[in-house]
Every structure is written in structure tokens, then in C-alpha cells.
Structure 1
Amino acid sequence: MQAQQTIAYIGIGGNLGDARATVEQAIVRLASLPGSQLLRVSSLYRTAPVDSSGDDYVNAVAQVATTLAPTDLLHALQRVELDHGRERPYRNAPRTLDLDVLLYGEARIDSAELQVPHPRMSQRAFVLAPLLEIDPAVSIPGAGPAAPYLAGITDQPISRL
């Protein structure tokens, strides 16, 4: 019997080293996650750090169909981060690569390890712009359509690369 696939959205970003190359390599890695299929990837975007410091970020969002459970998907993403030299010296530190589970189907998860929908996604242009590029009708479980949130964060500069 085929395992049930869930549509998940992954936020991708980095601002240390060659961030663009790292994000592009991470997208390739997402395509090879076990039990997963890469469906769509947004353009790459340049954004200023939000609640962070350092150089501008390169960001994107990917849509995957996966049979991985939410925490298994998180752990697979964390392995990709580590392979790209991710360190976590403090919260929101500059990073080589950051991979976040933004949405996992209609799931609402609030555990010590994983929060889905990502708790600040509706407040971040670097998440919403690429997310809406690949799925203009996407909804955030418990919050409704994502598109209206973009109007509230026009103060966050973002440009497509």
C-alpha cells in the first residue's frame, strides 16, 4: 500500500558564505529527500535580515509532496542544514542555511520541536512573497488565506534575484 503524501512548504534561506549557491544546492537536496518529491520552487529573493543581523539573505520557498511524518521531515531538513555548515550559536544568528517547515498539509502542530504553521510566517515578506509566487491561493491553517498578510509587511524590502 502506498503511503499517503502530504503537501508541505519549506522555507529556504541563508546569509553566510555564497548564500545563493547554498540555497540552490539545498533545493537540489530537497529533490532527493526520502519519500518526497519536489513539486515547485519559487524564484530566489534578496532580503534584509529580520530580527537578525549580517548580510542580506537569499530566500526561496519549495513545495514538496512527502510521505515523511512532520518531525521526520524536520530531521531530514536539519541534516541538510548541518551538511551545509549550519551552526546555532544563538537565536536568529546569521546562518549558512536555514530550512523551515512552513506548512504541512492542513496540520497544526505545536510541540517543543516543531511549530506548524511556522509561527511568524505571516509576518515575513521573505516567506510570503516566494510562497505566494508558487501558490497564490495558499491558506495558513487557523489563519486563512496568506495573500492578505503581504500588504501588512510592505516595510520589509524584498527583491527577486
Structure 2
Amino acid sequence: MMLNKALECSTAYLLLGGNLGDREENLKRAIELLDEKIGRVTSVSSLYETAAWGKTDQPAFLNQAVALQTHLNALEVLDKALSIEQELGRVRKDKWGERLIDIDLILFGDEIIDIPDKLQVPHPHMQNRKFVMEPLAEIAPDVVHPVLGETILSICLNIEDPLEVKKL
């Protein structure tokens, strides 16, 4: 007799951010939609406020890290995250520009994915950005970066990013 094998579940870590509109409400709504459309949200960090990075002449961002369990693969998670951004009113204009919501796939289990111009996991710049690492270290301190072989907390403690990140 053959038993149905349960679908494999992966843990995805995402970083949410936004600096337009009701920033806190936009993050809250994004988390609800992630839970509804991608997988069960298992952990959410505190809110963190950070000055804009890259293009600095804009309002400060609120950021939040989210862990979720999903049966989707990484590309499906990315596509659904982009769809949620659109549903919440995101319009892509300038790279690093102002936005209502931004949802980045930071880690996907221990997978290393490099699909040029589409998806890179782990996020290639995460270890250099305090606004990514501090919320992530709050919810996943012992997770090991699959390329660097260091824990998220260890990377966070040694980051040299001068940008101030304020936990709210």
C-alpha cells in the first residue's frame, strides 16, 4: 500500500519595508496577505525604523522581518510576494525609491538560488545591511547563512553598516 507523502514544507524569511502612507498598517496588511497566499506566518519581528538607504532624499522606512512555512518553491514565493506588493498599491518607479510596500525574499531554507535578473537567495546584500539583519536576528538568530556559514546573529553583531536602525 502506498501512502501519500506530505508536501515538503520550507521556511522562508522575508523582509518587509515601506516609507509611504500608513507604514505600520501597510506592513500589517502585507503580513495578513503573506499568511493567506504564501504560507503560515510563524514569526514576526518588532518594527524597525531606518533612514532611507541608497536614495537618501526620502522619508524613513519601517522594516519588519517575517518567517513563514510554505509548500511553495522560492520562485512561487517571489511571484506571490510581488503580486501582494501590487495588490497593496506598490508602483515601481525608481530603484531604491519611495514605496508603500516592499517584500524581499531574504532566505529560503538553506537553499542557494541564482537566477540572473530574477532571484538570488540568500539575498546578496543582506549581510551588509543593518536594516535587514537586525529584524532578522530578532526572529532567526541561530539560522546559518548558507553561503557564509555564520549565524544571522553573528553576522549582525559584526556588521559595519553605519546606518542607524531604531527598534520601535
Matched residue, 1:153: 160
Matched residue, 1:48: 51
* Partners of 2:130 and 2:159 within 8 A in 1: no
**What is the TM-score of this pair, normalised by structure 2?**
0.90
- 5+ residue gaps, structure 1, are none
* Partners of 2:14 and 2:103 within 8 A in 1: yes
SS state at 1:141 partner? coil
SS state at 1:153 partner? coil
2:114 aligned partner, one-letter code: D
- How far, CA to CA, are the matches of 2:50 and 2:149 in structure 1? 25
4+ long deviations beyond 6 Å = none
Q: Is 1:100 aligned to 2:79, yes or no?
A: no
Q: CA deviation at 1:115?
A: 0.6
Q: Which residue of 140, 143, 154 maps to 2:148?
A: 143
Q: CA deviation at 1:22?
A: 0.4
Q: CA deviation at 1:2?
A: 1.7
* Partners of 2:122 and 2:145 within 8 A in 1: yes
Q: Is 1:18 aligned to 2:22, yes or no?
A: yes
1:110–1:154 Cα change, 3 Å:
closer
Q: CA deviation at 1:89?
A: 1.1
The structure with the larger Rg is 2
RMSD: 1.2
- How far, CA to CA, are the matches of 1:20 and 1:8 in structure 2? 22
1:15 aligned partner, one-letter code: N
Q: Which residue of 30, 46, 50 maps to 2:34?
A: 30
Aligned-pair identity in percent equals: 32
- How far, CA to CA, are the matches of 2:159 and 2:79 in structure 1? 32
- 5+ residue gaps, structure 2, are none
Superposition pairs for residues 42-121 of structure 1, below 5 Å? 42-53=45-56, 54-111=58-115, 112-121=117-126
- How far, CA to CA, are the matches of 1:69 and 1:133 in structure 2? 25
- Greater CA drift, 144-153 or 131-140: 144-153
Structure 1, residues 68-116: CA drift from partner, whole Å, max 9, x if none?
A: 0111100110111001111111211111100011000111111121110
1:155 aligned partner, one-letter code: P
Task: Say how many residue pairs are matched.
Answer: 160
* Partners of 2:49 and 2:166 within 8 A in 1: yes
